[in-house]
A = this chain, B = another copy of it.
Amino acid sequence: STRTPVAPPRPGGRGQTYRPGARRRPGQIVAAGFVVAVVLGATLLLLPAASTTAHRPTILEAVFTATSAVCVTGLTVLDTATQWTTFGQVVIMALIQVGGFGVMTLASLLGLLLSRRLNLQTRMVSASATRSVGLGDVRTTLVGIGIVTAVVEGATTLVLAGRYVVSYGEEPLRALWLGLFHAVSAFNNAGFALFSDSLSSFATDPWICVPIAVAVVVGGIGFPVILELTRSRRRPKSWSLHTKITLAASAVLLVVGGAFVTIAEWTNPATLGPLDARGKILAGFFQGVMPRTAGFNSVDTGAMNNGTWLGTDVLMFIGGGSGSTAGGIKVTTFMVLFVVMWAELRGDPDSVLFGRRLAPAVQRQALAVVLLSMATIAVAAITITSTSPFTSDEVLFEVVSAFATVGLSTGITAELAPWHQGIIIMLMLAGRLGPVTLGTALALRERQRLIRLPEGSPIVG
């Protein structure tokens, strides 16, 4: 009864392609869900019960905060620690959890649908059997993501709460709340913190920094990978190409990113300079993990040198794993393009990674995701820089941070003009939903070209 008849190719003229319209719907539904969550969240944050008496938030500020939470970005125009009451902070935490869960579910289901379709193409199995993702798959995915979320957030909460009680003299209930909030914020790569200086007070405390970094990495690696690891942890050879790429690329980026920040900031008196060697390495690697794409900071981002900003821009742009809470273009996208380039330089007509040829369609999808992302960032950065008093390196950092839903900031977000903050809001939404839906929408689309044109080869370079 679930049979879906396959539509025959429509007759078409020159250059016409055949695309069923239904393919765009999942992205649109989720986008609508995000907007609803933002509106609901902003409304709650506007309630008197959400704010301390200090400052009544404007609608723009409430929408900005809600968008930042739902998109798990972490950029703020108001200080999370002092602006909001516990009720307001619970609203933010709930928005983070909804947004993170939503995007993980979306990306995982789209990925599942995609792999079914690819299996279909490869194995020539009857279309009706494997074409779509059934209710059973959805339930399994939801439950799986729920379990992973609960386990990681629970464990992180306990470690953090214990540390807050033992070493910082917090009351148990307050410590549990602090632990829970930062665990949720970390696993969902949200970067919101209940301290005005983010985690700067804990820069040299491995009992705070390490569990948070671990939660960030696990949350940012993606549910499809976690699922495969729990099922066949001891048989690395059986892992899918996606899992292998994600793990390898994440490991390389963590090491390279951490080493880069540590070395670049080693002597900076405003960041790592005053710390001892152990503290420099802990804080430097923490800051190298955060661009993938958590956005906590344990040293002052605004005081980092400009070269570290540029390097961090690159790390933030790449982001985390597909089907994760992280943002950016995703490590697989980056690796695909890198491997294509490498193959081209080696003179190899096939782009090979872990014993597999990368499908040409995947190469084009990666290119489309990266170029569109770059174009979005360039247009936003040029627009804001041209019409604001800030330098382009500050603006570029903020724009990349928003688009990759990182939340690191040189400190200019709150000082931007309202319409610039509006651009940042749109960047957060576009960056949260764009690459996910674009990448899978492109991959899922039916394709058929009825007439092929003659080939042409312009001179390149």
Stretch from A29-37, A50-58, A203-211, A349-357 forming part of the interface with B: A349-357
Report if A156 contacts B (CB, 8 A). no
CA distance A340 to B366 in the complex (A): 11
Contact B15 A459 (CB under 8 A): no
- Asked if residues A392 and B309 are in contact (CB atoms below 8 Å), the reply is yes
CB closest chain-B residue, reference A356 = B456
Interface code A440-461, partner B: CB below 8 Å = 1, 0 otherwise?
1011011111001111111111
For chain A, residues 185 to 228, give those with C-beta under 8 angstroms from any C-beta of chain B: 224
User: Are A359 and B460 interface neighbours, CB within 8 A?
Assistant: no
A367 touches B340 (CB 8 A): yes
A349 to B336 CA separation, bound complex (whole angstroms): 18
**Is there an interface contact between A461 and B369, defined as CB atoms closer than 8 Å?**
yes
- Could you tell me if B367 and A458 are in contact, using CB atoms closer than 8 angstroms? no
Which listed residue, B17, B357, B360, touches A453 by the CB 8 Å rule? B357
What is the size, in residues, of chain A's interface with B at 8 Å between Cβ atoms?
A: 101
On whether the beta carbons of A459 and B307 are closer than 8 Å, the reply is no
- The complex places the Cα of A19 from the Cα of B308 at a distance, in Å, of 40
Q: Tell me if B439 and A264 are in contact (CB < 8 A).
A: no
Given contacts A114-B459, A459-B114, contact A310 B348 (CB under 8 A): no
Q: Judge whether A460 and B378 touch: CB under 8 Å.
A: no
- Residues in chain B near residue A292, CB distance under 8 A: none
Q: Are B329 and A461 in contact, CB atoms less than 8 angstroms apart?
A: yes
Name which residue of chain B comes closest to A368, CB basis.
Answer: B344
Q: Cβ of A454 and Cβ of B332 under 8 Å apart? A: no
A436 and B461 form a contact (CB under 8 A): yes
Of the candidate stretches A251-259, A279-287, A383-391, the one touching chain B is A383-391
Q: Are B372 and A341 in contact (CB under 8 A)?
A: yes
Q: Is A438 an interface residue (CB 8 A)?
A: yes
Given contacts A344-B442, A369-B460, A391-B393, contact A455 B385 (CB under 8 A): no
Q: Which of B335, B341, B365, B447 contacts A371 (CB 8 A)?
A: B341
> How many Å lie between the Cα of A391 and that of B390 in the bound state?
12
Separation of A311 and B383 alpha carbons in the complex (Å): 9
Q: Check A306 for interface membership: any CB of B closer than 8 A.
A: yes
Question: Which residue on chain B has the smallest CB distance to residue A381?
Answer: B310
